[in-house]
Amino acid sequence: MTKLIAITGITGGGSVANTFFQTPGYTIRGVTRNTESAAAKAWAAKGVEIVKADFDDVESLKRAFQGANVIFGVTDFWNIFGDPRSKELKKPDQELVEYCYEVELRHGKNLADAAASTASTLDRYIFSSMAHATQSSGGKFSKIYHMDSKAEAVTYAQSLPELKDKFSQIQAPIYYQIALEWGLPVEPTKQPDGTYRMKVPGVAHKPIPLGNVGTDLGPNVKALVEQAPPNTNLFAVGEYLSWNDYLRIFCETQGVKYGGVDELTYDEINELIPGGLGHEFGCNVLFAFEFGYEGKEAGIVGPGKYGIKMSSFREYCEKADFSALLSNGAEVGGFGLSPSASPMSTSSALAYLGVEFDVASGLAPALAASFSLFFFPLSALGSFMLGEGPRGLAGCYNITWHPSLSRRERNQLRNQRGLTIWLTGLSASGKSTVATALEQHLLHLGLAAYRLDGDNVRFGLNKDLGFSETDRNENIRRISEVAKLFADASTIAITSFISPYRADRDLARELHAKTTQDGDEPIPFVEVFVDVPLEVAEQRDPKGLYKKARAGEIKDFTGISAPYEEPVNAEITIKTHENTVEECVAQITNWLIAKGYVKSEVKN
């Protein structure tokens, strides 16, 4: 039997409509405020039924949804913000963003009420949502209006008896197209030296959730309709990438030179975006950094749970046409939309919030221009922006460093040079196995060595840390400090942690290079890349973690849903899938001897 799916916002995006248009057994009804728009007429020409409805008129929505088996609903906070009437309709002392929250929540409730009116025919109501910032943060972020309005619309829909076991929600990531197709100020620009650079607010090395929503959102909605049980919260993320890797992959696929990424500060963003937007999005960034873009609600699943193949950023870059961007020439600096930016592209850019917008509703040009400045990594800014200072430093500014033996003197007295051997690689690459064997080998040679890994660090020093990005960074920072202390005591410290981010490993290296006394020598830092292909690591998978990550049961798993940034200039590279553990240990030991860090005549 043919099913009827009603899609709101059909003229603002095509992924959901295209997916069901190409799927046998479905008839599409497009819901829009302007049935005379070019986009509405284009869908009508394909045989799609186009009906008129207004989110402020629940009865019009009920008529539009009548007889539907599936409903895909979205709301639009930023169109409300850009509507000149909103300033007139809000209370005199009310913030505009608070008023927009109230209207969007009302729209979300109207959609839910209209969907509930079709209970006799309805199989599934899918709503495009965001995390509830207030609840997920325990009240720390209580005024991120554009998030909470959608999340509270979800709560309302879930409270309606008619929608019991008929409701699910979907969250979209940031679009791959954000910096490449929409003429935004973050797009790569050609420099006088021929390289391409990007300007991005926030930190360039930290990963953000991205995806090709224009092609992949539809299959995810389809999975919610056909595969997932009701009450599913699906985060349709394609890939986690840092802006550094984003630009690097773009340059590689386009055959141009990578120049690097310039970071913009939080203060610059607030200066550029006054009137509530700076606060709204600044808090959004800080929330995402601390609590995750998709929030902390239990049971959130990813596309892998339903076997959905998501497009990689590299695949997107290889297929897209960037001739207009690459022909712009060396235009360096400046903010605002590029001359090629169009109203359609700006509206599409707004869709990173997780919805497909009705272009017919439009946006005020000034809002569109200012809005374009806010497409930045949501995991980019930390609590230091709020003036909290680095973790653990409160009240410690009165400490004075007291010199003792120099490193050289200590090494001479112990007849051994302290250093850190930092093993990095994917989970199941063999880091811990090699580290354990290396520690034993060095001890048998008569050298003081100590291994730091998850067992003796996570259950002791770092037992207060979880696995959020903030805690993972703090975990690596503490390990770096402890390894340095071991090495400073003329011991060979061996660490075996995934440590996926180059920036964190670089900070560890810089920490070891610092000296505390005049004439002191830096501590050698030896990065060992345990280079194993992802498919080999997955085949090993001794704890079943990759399987769970592929199924969407583990979020932010390195190599699957979170990035691993391979070392660029590691001192040593070992391949445990090609060599035995003994051969890998010998390779590391021979390198240490060749560099003079370990004496060849040490006791066997």
Residue 312 is classified by DSSP as P
Coil, strand or helix at 422: strand
- Residue 450: how many CA atoms within 13 Å on its side-chain side? 15
Catalytic residue among 338, 347, 429, 499: 499
Which has the closest alpha carbon to 508: 532, 475, 530, 531? 475
Q: How many angstroms separate the first and last alpha carbons of the chain?
A: 78
Q: How far apart are CA 338 and CA 590, in angstroms?
A: 55
Q: How far apart are CA 585 and CA 188, in angstroms?
A: 43
- Residue 139: how many CA atoms within 13 Å on its side-chain side? 0
Instruction: Give yes or no: 496 in active site.
Output: no
Cβ atoms 192, 228 nearer than 8 A: no
Cβ atoms 121, 69 nearer than 8 A: yes
Alpha helices in 92-144 (DSSP H): 96-116, 133-136
User: Which residues are 3's β-sheet partners?
Assistant: 26
Cα 321 to chain center, whole Å?
24
Non-local CB neighbours of 474 within 8 Å, separated by 6+ positions: 391, 462, 465
Cα 164 to chain center, whole Å?
32
Q: How far apart are CA 558 and CA 561, in angstroms?
A: 6
Q: How far apart are CA 133 and CA 142, in angstroms?
A: 7
Coil, strand or helix at 456: helix
Dihedral class, residue 582 (left if φ above 0, else alpha if ψ from -120 to 50, else beta): alpha
DSSP strand pairing (195-201 vs 239-241): unpaired
User: Which residues are 210's β-sheet partners?
Assistant: 174, 239
Looking at the annotation, which residues are catalytic?
Answer: 499
